[in-house]
Structure 1
Amino acid sequence: MMSEESGTTATSAPDQPVEPPATATAPPLVPAPGALVLALLAVGWLAAMLWSAKAGISSSGITSMAITSAAYALPGVISASLVSGAGVSLVLGNLLTRLGVRRSTPRFLVSLVAGLATGFLAALVVTLSYGEGSAIMVLAGTTAAAATVGGIAGGLRSTLVVAAVVAAGLAVFAVGFALSYFQDPILNLYGAGATEASQVNAFRWFSRTSSLASGLAAGLLAFGYLRAAGRRAVERATGAVPSPRWPAYLIAGAGPGLLLLAAEVLTRTAGAEVLRLAGAVSEADRAAQSLLGGSRINHATLVLFLGSLTALITFGRTLRPAEESTATPSDPRGADQDGADRGGADPSRADRDGAEPAGEDTGADDAPDSSPRVESGGAAADDAADGKDHEPADRPEPVAGR
């Protein structure tokens, strides 16, 4: 707009605050339901594994037997440390979410501190109660490292997926404990006898049964937790919280298998000294460690694939096909058929468009009209014959003098 004053140029309106361009944002943070219960169960399982390892090492007596017992207990203690560190970190992450802390840096620091604290306490228990020796020190350090890694993983933004992985991991531990409790009857069922070949064959089938049951339990529990927790988070959230999609179920189902693989990696790297000392005791111990290592890798791989497939298939069965009503008009006959049944006239369309359809008689006696004159019927015609001027309700009153 040009200004009325001379010598001025066109000026534009004052600049309005410009909204920043919309960018892809991360999903909103929501607290994971039942995180405290999951953390308590995970820490309790870690305490049970530490007590079991201590009992095995203390009863050995001989140094070589204590090293072998430490090597046997190392993978279980590491996997329990991973899950417990993730559970404790998840609880602190929920606390930060409720306090409104959403920045990545403070959340990562809190997760790191949670993992370090959990690992430090576990390592302190090992060093104070297990005795002395290089194998014990390696076991304590590996336990602390595993808890730290679990704490960092527990601080991820996808809190529901992390909680589902922790719950599914606890389910895998429970299945393994139950099967080990009934190991002898199951081995006898698979034909374990006095010969070494029958015992090896029975143990192989026992391992497959354990992997199958663990994978199914991981997938089903991951699906159940995500399904229930997703609905609860959507109902309680004040903003728009999307429901978990299929990648979340896939990752949650595969999470326990990934934890077992991570535990095996830590066992063979941070705990390599314990495995070396155990293998140096005798040739039989070296062969046993090699056989157990391969069995653990196969178990973790089967749990990973079975858990992910079970969770994904179970989620797929809950999906419903698109409603057919979105692809068909509300009137099953269609607009053309309806117009043909009425003789080519569509009064409602004519009223909306403000024009009469082509070829339509506009007389008041033949076509229905929505005006008050037609609605009054014959009474309106009689009043008009008597000289009464009835104006429609929506026509303005005439002004005097015009």
Structure 2
Amino acid sequence: MTEPATATSTESPRKTGAEPPAAPTPPRAPSTTGWLAFSALAWLLVTLLFYRTAFTGEAGDWSLVMAAILLPQVIQANLLAGAAVGLWSTLALGRRKPWAERGVGRWAVGTAAGLLTGTLASGAVLLAYGMSARAVGVVAVAVGVAGALGGALGAIRPARIMAAGLSAALLVLIFLNVVALFSTPLLNAFGSGDTAAERYSANGLLAGTTAIIAGLIAGLAAYWRIRRAAARSGDTAKWPVYLAAGASAGLLLIVAEFCTRLGVAQLLSLAEADISADSEILSFIAASRLNTGLVVLFVGALTTTIAYGRSLPKAVRD
């Protein structure tokens, strides 16, 4: 006997109405702007702790002069932190609230984030260590203005340019502060001696060399950051993007210098005695900082442009 053939149905099974399980969502990559904001805030904290001796409760004109000398480093760190937090805030909030990434809303969010960052971070340290009542208002206003301007800078688009420029600016500030920390042996290496002419020449050589190296650091760091962002997004950035990113670190130093000059002028106006000699020295230092910012701007922009040109494929001659 033969077994009966079993009929097989070629029809597709009926849908049961149950949806297939959704594919697991891949883990989200960490935000590079978030890490940048964290690094900038960490640098701000290090700067405030390292230069806290300039903002003490000691009375007298000497404390005002010391605060005027070290205020630029605090302003630079505040401006950088405000810009980094402003950039991160506008991007993070813009993903959830479209108005935060458009027009006035973006500028308002960035400025508020920068102002809050500078005010809270600086205020906490100043209150912890105490400061002369005459100068606390001046420093608070200068720090607040720097943070707000930084937040406004963080709202500038394209965000890729700002992220690259701020990353480069962070490295530049670290380098400049390390050079300042070892300024005495470096000045001796550049020929500083007992005469005023030798000290002036050594200061000029050290300042020029430092500015050029800082510009190279800014340009190379910005170039690497733009290339990395372009590779991640799968597009190709044009040379104006590299140019703007390379110049951003120098631009931040220049903006910080103008904020510093407003604060220093107000601090020195509180002096009771004649400090014209100190004012001349501070003016010389301020001119050197401005020159450094200009050199970093031009050298950084030139470095990124040259690096971009070197990365282009060479033309094949027939």
TM-score class, shorter: 0.7 to 0.9
Aligned to 2:295: 302
C-alpha deviations, 1:308-328, integer Å up to 9, x for none?
101111111111246789xxx
SS of 1:209's partner is helix
The verdict on how the C-alpha distance between 1:275 and 1:132 changes in structure 2, with shifts beyond 3 A counting, is closer
Report how many residues are paired: 287
Deviation at 1:163, TM superposition (A): 0.5
Q: What is the aligned partner in structure 2 of residue 166 from structure 1?
A: 166
Please give the residue correspondences for 1:2-401 in structure 2 after superposition, counting only pairs within 5 Å: 34-58=32-56, 61-99=58-96, 101=98, 102-125=101-124, 127-128=126-127, 129-234=129-234, 242-277=235-270, 281-321=274-314
Contact 1:79 1:260 in 2 (8 A): yes
The structure with more radius of gyration: 1
Contact (CA 8 Å) 1:85, 1:149: kept in 2 or not? yes
The structure whose RCO (Cα within 8 Å, separation 6+) is larger is: 2
How far is the alpha carbon of 1:123 from its aligned partner?
4.3
**Residue 97 (structure 1) shift:** 4.4
In 1, the alpha carbon distance for the partners of 2:312 and 2:233 equals 19
Question: What's the CA shift for 1:116?
Answer: 2.1
* Structure 2: distance between partners of 1:106 and 1:203: 46
Find the aligned partners of 2:174 and 2:123 in 1 and give their Cα distance. Answer: 26
CA distance, structure 2, for counterparts of residue 166 and residue 32 of structure 1: 18
The gaps in structure 2 that reach 5 residues or longer are 1-28
Instruction: Please report how far the alpha carbon of residue 277 of structure 1 lies from its aligned counterpart in structure 2 after TM superposition.
Output: 4.0
Find the counterpart in structure 2 of residue 386 from structure 1.
Answer: none
How far did 1:113 drift?
2.0
In the alignment, the residues of structure 2 paired with residue 210 and residue 80 of structure 1 have an alpha-carbon distance, to the nearest angstrom, of 18
Question: Normalising to structure 2: TM-score of the pair?
Answer: 0.83
1:301 Cα shift? 0.9
Given that residues 83 and 114 in structure 2 are in contact (C-alpha distance below 8 angstroms), is that contact kept between their aligned partners in structure 1? yes
Equivalent residue number for residue 16 of structure 1: none
In terms of mean alpha carbon deviation, does 174-183 or 98-107 score higher? 98-107
Q: Residue 192 of structure 1 aligns to a residue in which SS?
A: coil
User: Would you say the 8 A contact 2:59–2:132 is kept in 1?
Assistant: no
TM-score with structure 1 length normalisation? 0.66
- In the aligned structure 2, how far is the partner of 1:39 from the partner of 1:281? 42
Q: SS state of the match for residue 106, structure 1? A: helix
Q: Is the 8 A contact 2:207 2:292 kept in 1?
A: yes
- For residues 279 and 203 of structure 1, what CA distance do their matches in structure 2 show? 30
Q: Which has the higher helix share?
A: 2
Q: CA deviation at 1:263?
A: 1.0
Contact 2:219 2:301 in 1 (8 A): yes
Unaligned runs of 5+ in 1: 1-30, 235-241, 326-402
Instruction: Tell me: CA distance 1:100–1:321, structure 2 relative to 1, closer, same or farther (3 Å).
Output: farther
Corresponding residue of 2:7: none
Task: Check conservation: 1:168, 1:222, Cα contact below 8 A.
Answer: yes
Residue in structure 2 matched with residue 14 of structure 1 by the alignment: none
- Contact 1:33/1:229, CA 8 A, preserved across alignment: no
* Change in CA separation of 1:147 and 1:194 when aligned onto 2, cut-off 3 Å: same
CA distance in 1 between partners of 2:37 and 2:274 (Å): 38
Deviation at 1:122, TM superposition (A): 3.1
Contact 1:64 1:281 in 2 (8 A): no
| 1:32–1:94 contact (8 Å) kept in structure 2 | no
The answer (yes or no) to whether the contact 1:122–1:140 under 8 Å persists in 2 is: no
Offset of 1:283 from its aligned partner?
A: 2.9
Residues 338-388 of structure 1: CA deviation (Å, up to 9, x unaligned): xxxxxxxxxxxxxxxxxxxxxxxxxxxxxxxxxxxxxxxxxxxxxxxxxxx
Residues 142 and 262, structure 2, Cα contact 8 Å, conserved in 1:
no
Please say if residues 46 and 77 of structure 1, whose CA atoms lie closer than 8 Å, have aligned partners that are also in contact.
yes
Amino acid at match of 2:217: A
Instruction: Check the 8 A contact 2:33/2:88 in 1, yes or no.
Output: yes
Q: What is the CA distance between 1:117 and its match in structure 2?
A: 1.2
Deviation at 1:96, TM superposition (A): 3.0
Q: 1-side partners of 2:276 and 2:37: how far apart?
A: 41
Cα-to-partner distance string for 1:124-160 (whole Å, 9 max, x where unaligned): 2255133232322111111011111111110123111
